[in-house]
Amino acid sequence: MNTSGWIRTAVGTGLILGAAGARAEAPLERATPEQRKLYEEIRPLILRAAQPPFAALADSPESWFWTMSARMTPLLRAHAYSKDPAFLEAFVPVMEHVLSQRFVHPTRPEWSGWWHYQDALRGQAMIDHDALVFFIPAMLFAREVRGDPALQARYGAKAEAWMKDAEAGIRYWDARGCWHDLDERTGWYSSYFDYPEAGTGRLLKREDIYAGDTIPYNKVHCLFEALTMAYRLTGDPWYRVRMEKAANFWRRHWREDEKHVEWNYRDHFLPVHYESGVLGQGKTKTGAWVHPKGGYYSLDAQAAVMLYDVGLFARADIEKLLKTNLEFMWRGDVPPTFRHINGEYDTSGAANRGRGYLWTSLAHFSPKIRELWAAQIEASRGSWNWHSAALDYLIEMSRPVSWEPRHAREIPRR
- CATH number reported for the structural domain that contains residue 69 in this entry: 1.50.10
* Torsion angle (degrees, nearest 10) of CA 245, 299, 374, 378: -170
Write out the E strands in 81-202. 179-181, 187-189, 194-196
Name beta bridge partners: 164: none
Does any domain span residue 98?
A: yes
8 A C-beta contact, residue 47 and residue 409:
no
Question: Confidence class of residue 351 from pLDDT cuts 50, 70 and 90?
Answer: confident
Residue 165: CB atoms within 10 A of its CB come to 16
Percent of the chain scored above 90 by pLDDT?
A: 89
**According to the model, what pLDDT value does residue 5 have?**
40
pLDDT at 250 over 50: yes
- pLDDT band, very low/low/confident/very high, at 188 (cuts 50, 70, 90): very high
Residue 290 lies in a domain: yes
Q: CB neighbours of 305 closer than 8 A, spacing ≥ 6?
A: 313, 318, 361, 362, 364
**CA-based end-to-end distance of the chain:** 43
Residue 412, in any domain of the structure: no
Of 336, 24, 227, nearest to 327 by C-alpha is 336
Helix (H, G, I), strand (E, B) or coil at 187: strand
Instruction: Please work out, in degrees rounded to the nearest 5, the angle formed at the alpha carbon of residue 53 by the alpha carbons of 51 and 55.
Output: 120
Tens digit of pLDDT for each residue in 61-111?
A: 999 999 999 999 999 999 999 999 999 999 999 999 999 999 999 999 999
267-272 contacts at long range (C-beta below 8 A, 24 or more positions apart): 267/214, 268/213, 268/214, 269/180, 269/182, 269/188, 269/214, 270/180, 270/190, 270/212, 270/214, 272/212
Task: Give the Å distances, CA to CA, from 269 to 128, 192, 262, 266.
Answer: 20, 15, 19, 10
How many domains are there within the chain?
Answer: 1
User: What digits encode the pLDDT tens for the residues 109-122?
Assistant: 999 999 999 988 87
Residue 413 belongs to some domain of the structure: no
Residue 61: the pLDDT is 96
Give the pLDDT confidence score for residue 24 in this predicted structure: 67
pLDDT value at residue 22: 52
Average pLDDT (188-209) is 94
Instruction: Determine the pLDDT at residue 165.
Output: 98
Tens digits of residue pLDDT in 169-181: 999 999 999 999 9
Query: What's the domain range around 166?
Result: 5-397
Confidence band of 23 (pLDDT split at 50, 70, 90): low
pLDDT mean across residues, the chain: 93
Does residue 340 lie within any of the structural domains?
yes
Give the C-alpha separation, 113 to 101, whole Å. 9
Q: Is residue 207 part of a domain?
A: yes
Q: Is residue 406 part of a domain?
A: no
User: Is 409 a member of any domain?
Assistant: no
Q: Which residues contact 36 (CB under 8 A, 6 or more apart)?
A: 28
